[in-house]
Amino acid sequence: MKKRYRNYNYYPNKRRKRVKINKVRFTIFILSCVLILGVIGFGFKMMLTDKVEVSVELTEDLNKEEGESLYELSLWWEALKIDDYKEIQITVNDEVYILDADATRFDIDLSNPDDDYTVTFKAKRKGLFFSKKVKEVIHTFADNETIEQSISDVEIEEGNLIFTHHLQKSNAIKIDTKSIQYEAIDVMNQTLSEGKYTITDEDKNEVVLRVEIPIEDLKGAPVVALKMVTDINNHQLSFSIQDKNLDTGALKGEDYELSSGLAGIILVNKDAEHYTYKNHQFYAESLHLNIGTNEEILTYQLVDAARNLTVDEAYLTDGNMAIKLANLKEGDYVIKLNNLPVYTDEALNEVWYCVMRNGATNQVTLKSENGLLYLKVQLVHEVPTDVYDILIDPGHGGLDGGTIAGELTEANEALKLSKYIAGRLEDHGLKVKLTRTEDVDPAGPGKSDYGKSPFYDEGRVEQVYRYQTKYMISNHLNSFDGSLEGFEVYSSVVTDDDWSSRIATSLKSAGQDPRDSIKSEFRISEGSYKKCFVCRESSYEEKYGCLNDTLDYLYIIRETGGLLSQSSELTQHNKNYPTIPDYGAETILIEYAYLDNSKDYREWTANWESWGEAIVKATVEYLGIKYKK
């Protein structure tokens, strides 16, 4: 049947064409609307987006050891209006760091050489405002890749420090000579003086600059550091001016001496009083400094970045005293001793961790910067996997069973107790490790050289240094001839009696009495002893020298305390330790009972768990942690 079309003509092709035209017009209309809205939105966002200028600076490799690198990346910006901002978010690769809105600086250590780090800065606004992202890729230098440099013709003339600076060119390190800035820095007073330079010679291998820096206004500074800031490989790099072969000493007719070390070239003010750093040791949660003088250190001061005196305390030489680290607030601090700054030309950057308290701890970095000694304190919520707070040592093990009485073997009983103490300390948020978890010598099954195995890899002494433990508890059971009973607590001669006396009091409260020999020359307080021998004029002094008149008799206490307790055997028996590390643990050894005494035997079998709990209570309270039953 044929269809009829009335009132109009039917042209199928024309209709299809009209539909196509309408679709194109509609598409163009939609795209135009999207584009217009996008432009409006972009403009709206630009109007509401804050403008935060962020400066990024990278140090040169601070670690001069082959195979290791350390760079410090710094970001800084003008102070934000706190009422307008919620927080600042900085991302370094996949790690996100949240800063308070009043922060103006962020520093982070980078350890991978020849690597790319993507750094993003974001100041998050309140309300409808948008946060501007600043994104940059930082490339670190290859391991020990440095700028070859030297200086010559150093003089001071009319209040200006003048010298010639030679910079070697290389394909790997491209220097933008137009961006060079020279600075003389007085760290103590937070001031710097900028210099000027002229290029006196340049070829494909070297650029030579004559530098002039005013230092008249820095006259009162104990030390003045020389630094250079420039664009290298398209990134701003800050580095110290160095010359390994520089003739150091007094500048003719001037009040300054030239000093050159790994930390760079420094002017030392001969008239400004200061101390000179020799070495240091972290012991438990304290920092001890050696300034190479017999002058007694009475006090220490910490001065923050705003040059406010934040800590002014007595410097006590006991191992667990000196500069106390656990309660320091976050920040950078210049260290002073007896109100005098401590000068160093060494490149220091050593990290130490305090113990975990309420899920957080202080990460403390001892560092040298611009000739002075610094502490950098950061609050962190986790520590490296190989760093522990407390090491629990079940005495004996393996071929050495220790005391045997009836069905009890000291090695097994000490392990049982140690596992209990470790678990309960972990309940209090501490990171705890056992030197052994089964009946073997900690250094490995079959070890029989008892004089050496504690110092082998994973030996009970070596573990203190391997795992950077702050505290150690060595658990033992005693025997004699059946006539003695009670507990004994031994601590180091380099510490006070605080921890050991707390343990003694706690054990007594738990029902175990001390073997309290009042006549003992080693007794410090009830149940607490410091067993030692005279070091002076002994074979030990001939071999190692004596820091103190007395030396800990028990090797587990002496050899785990580092340089402060004069440990020395680790270097004899373990080639992985050419020197004793500059850190150590505060160690306690406890003899809980005499197993060959019938009364102590019964008391131990019935009450060992409550005695272990007594150790937990005394220890956490000593560390300032609230005890949980």
Per-residue confidence (pLDDT) for residue 199, from 0 to 100: 94
For the chain, residues classed under CATH 3.40.630.40 are: 390-622
Q: How confident is the model over 181-210, as a mean pLDDT? A: 89
Tell the residue number behind the tokens 């501490």, with chain if given: 430
383-393 burial: b if 16+ Cβ within 10 Å, else e: beeebbbbbbb
| Paired tokens of 73 | 């990346």
Higher pLDDT, 154 or 424: 424
What integer is the mean pLDDT of 126-151? 79
As assigned by CATH, the class of the 149-269 domain is: mainly beta
pLDDT in tens, 390-420: 999 999 998 889 999 999 999 999 999 999 9
Residues of the chain with CATH 2.60.40.10: 54-139
User: Considering the chain, what percentage of its residues have pLDDT values greater than 70?
Assistant: 91
SS3 437: coil
Residue 414, token pair as written in the block: 């000490």
> Does residue 505 come out as left (phi exceeding 0), alpha (psi in the -120 to 50 range) or beta?
alpha
| More confidently predicted of 123 and 210 | 210
Q: What is the dihedral of CA 523, 528, 534, 540, to 10 degrees?
A: 160
Residue type, 146: T
pLDDT band at 273 (very low <50, low <70, confident <90, very high): confident
Q: Three-class SS of residue 208? A: strand
Indicate if the alpha-carbon torsion angle 542, 544, 550, 556 is positive or negative. Answer: negative
Give the Cα separation of 29 and 58 in Å (integer).
Answer: 50
* Spatial contact of 604 and 591, defined as CB atoms under 8 Å apart: no
Q: Which of 62-66, 107-111, 287-291, 613-617 has the lowest mean pLDDT?
A: 62-66
Beta-bridge partners for 528: 489, 525
Fold of 54-139: Immunoglobulin-like (2.60.40)
pLDDT score recorded for residue 44: 44
Do residues 335 and 323 touch, judged by C-beta distance below 8 A? Answer: yes
- CA separation for the pair 328, 504 (Å, rounded): 29
pLDDT for 38? 63
* Contacts of 348 by beta carbon, 8 Å cutoff, 6+ apart: 263, 366, 367, 368, 373
pLDDT tier, 17 (very low <50, low <70, confident <90, very high otherwise): low
**pLDDT band at residue 128 using 50, 70 and 90 as cut-offs:** low
Residue 233 has pLDDT above 90, yes or no: no
CA distance 227 to 205: 22
Instruction: Express each pLDDT in 242-267 by its tens digit.
Output: 887 887 777 766 788 888 877 788 88
User: Per-residue pLDDT tens for 332-354?
Assistant: 999 999 999 998 888 888 999 99
Contact, 230 vs 245, CB < 8 A? no
Backbone angles phi, psi at 555, to 5 degrees: -60, -35
CA–CA gap between residue 445 and residue 131 (Å, rounded): 60
Q: What is the Cα–Cα distance from 467 to 459, expressed in whole angstroms?
A: 12
What value does the mean pLDDT take over residues 77-101? 88
Alpha helix (H) residue ranges in 268-409? none
CB within 8 A of 48, min separation 6: which ones? 128, 129, 130
Task: Find the range with the poorest average confidence among 144-153, 160-169, 476-485.
Answer: 144-153
Pairwise CA distance, residues 446 & 105, whole Å = 54
**Model confidence band, residue 603 (pLDDT cutoffs 50, 70, 90):** very high
- Residues 375 and 352: their CA atoms lie apart, in Å, by 11
Q: Is the pLDDT of residue 85 over 50?
A: yes
Q: Is a pLDDT exceeding 60 seen at residue 43?
A: no
Q: Which of 209-213, 222-226, 294-298 has the highest mean pLDDT?
A: 209-213
Which of these, 55, 72, 66, 69, lies nearest to 370 by C-alpha position? 72
Asked which of 85-94, 132-141, 475-484 is least confident by mean pLDDT, the reply is 132-141
CB 496 within 8 A of CB 318: yes
Across the chain, mean pLDDT equals 87
Q: Out of 241-255, 267-281, 435-449, pick the least confident.
A: 241-255
The domain made up of 390-622 has a fold known as Aminopeptidase (3.40.630)
Asked if residues 422 and 391 have their Cβ atoms less than 8 Å apart, the reply is no
* Confidence band, pLDDT 50/70/90 cuts, at residue 590: very high
pLDDT of 5 strictly over 60: no
Please state the pTM of the whole predicted model: 0.80
Phi, psi of 323 (to 5 degrees): -90, 110
Q: Which amino acid is at 579?
A: T
Instruction: In whole angstroms, give the CA distance from residue 150 to residue 569.
Output: 42
Residue type at 93 in one-letter notation? N
| Band of pLDDT at residue 520, cut at 50, 70 and 90 | confident
